[in-house]
């Protein structure tokens, strides 16, 4: 689920801008393009590229003439989807956990982590949640718990060399909801620790 303002980055890269509120597209385009210059979509299929192009993402990115050196070796773009309804259900639970590893020098996507998560407090997705996120019941049924997914995230971080003290990486979100509210809130509810690498991030909206 997107954060309180409805801003979602992985949804834009993964599914195009079809479900993105039209009034937020200019802001999202500016935010994404401030981080991702020409060539960042290398490795993604032509369908996604065409979807982004239809909303002028390609033109905005192609217009960038230079990109300054970055202080981080890697940007880890993250955007959760979570259980939701109207009125909101409590607690919300993460149901999709995607991370996109972006090289801070080449601005190319080097690796991705993606897992669906089985909700346990409210295991049945609501029609509102499916409509908003595009995630159907069959995608989360039988999937690992959040604890198991967090363990696999840590394994992926280690495999990608991101736990090496000499490697500077940071998570990137569109808003503070994912890592300030959603993850620590659910971990507190479940009695799970939050890894230190989740405690700092770049909020593109700021």
Alpha-carbon radius of gyration of the chain: 17
* pLDDT above 50 (res 29): no
Residue 34's pLDDT is what? Answer: 52
Site of tokens 């401030």: 34
Please tell me the distance from the alpha carbon of residue 201 to that of residue 79, in angstroms, as a whole number: 12
Residue 165's pLDDT is what? Answer: 96
Residue 142's pLDDT is what? Answer: 98
**pLDDT tens digits for range 16-27:** 334 444 444 444
Torsion of CA 69, 71, 77, 79, to 10 degrees: -130
Helix, strand or coil, per DSSP, at residue 182: helix
Residue 58's pLDDT is what? Answer: 46
Question: DSSP states of 113-151 as a string?
Answer: EEEE---SSS-SPPHHHHHHH---HHHHTTPPPHHHHHH
Residue 63's pLDDT is what? Answer: 39
Indicate the pTM of the whole model: 0.71
* pLDDT above 50 (res 129): yes
Q: Per-domain residue ranges for the chain?
A: 74-203
Q: What is the mean pLDDT of residues 133-160?
A: 98
Site of tokens 């955007």: 79
Q: What is the mean pLDDT of residues 182-197?
A: 98
CB 40 within 8 A of CB 64: no
Please tell me the distance from the alpha carbon of residue 145 to that of residue 203, in angstroms, as a whole number: 27
pLDDT band of residue 54 (cuts 50, 70, 90) is very low
pLDDT band of residue 74 (cuts 50, 70, 90) is very high
Structure tokens at 173: 């979100």
Residue 68's pLDDT is what? Answer: 80
pLDDT band of residue 180 (cuts 50, 70, 90) is very high
Residue 45's pLDDT is what? Answer: 41
Most confident of 1-15, 35-49, 122-136: 122-136
The CATH fold of domain 74-203: Nucleotidyltransferase; domain 5 (3.30.420)
Residue 66's pLDDT is what? Answer: 62
Task: Give a three-class secondary structure readout of 20-83.
Answer: CCHHHHHHHHHHHHHHCCCCCCCCCCHHHHHHHHHCCHHHHHHCCCCCCCCCCCEEEEECCEEC
CB 14 within 8 A of CB 99: no
């Amino acid at each position: 689920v997107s954060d309180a303002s409805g801003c979602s980055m992985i949804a834009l890269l993964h599914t195009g801008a079809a479900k993105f509120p039209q009034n937020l597209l200019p802001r999202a385009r500016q935010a994404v393009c401030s981080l991702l210059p020409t060539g960042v979509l290398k490795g993604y299929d032509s369908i996604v590229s065409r979807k982004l192009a239809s909303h002028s993402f390609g033109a905005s990115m192609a217009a960038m003439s230079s990109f300054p050196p970055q202080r981080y070796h890697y940007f880890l773009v993250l955007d959760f989807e979570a259980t939701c309804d109207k009125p909101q259900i409590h607690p919300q639970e993460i149901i999709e956990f995607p991370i996109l590893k972006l090289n801070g020098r080449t601005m190319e996507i080097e690796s991705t982590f993606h897992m669906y998560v089985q909700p346990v407090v409210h295991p049945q997705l609501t029609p509102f949640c499916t409509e908003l996120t595009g995630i159907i019941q069959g995608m989360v049924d039988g999937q690992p718990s959040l604890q198991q997914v967090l363990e696999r995230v840590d394994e992926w971080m280690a495999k990608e060399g991101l736990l090496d003290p000499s490697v500077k990486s940071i998570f990137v979100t569109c808003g503070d909801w994912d890592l300030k509210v959603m993850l620590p809130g659910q971990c507190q509810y479940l009695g799970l620790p939050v890894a230190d690498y989740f405690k700092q991030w770049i909020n593109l909206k700021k």
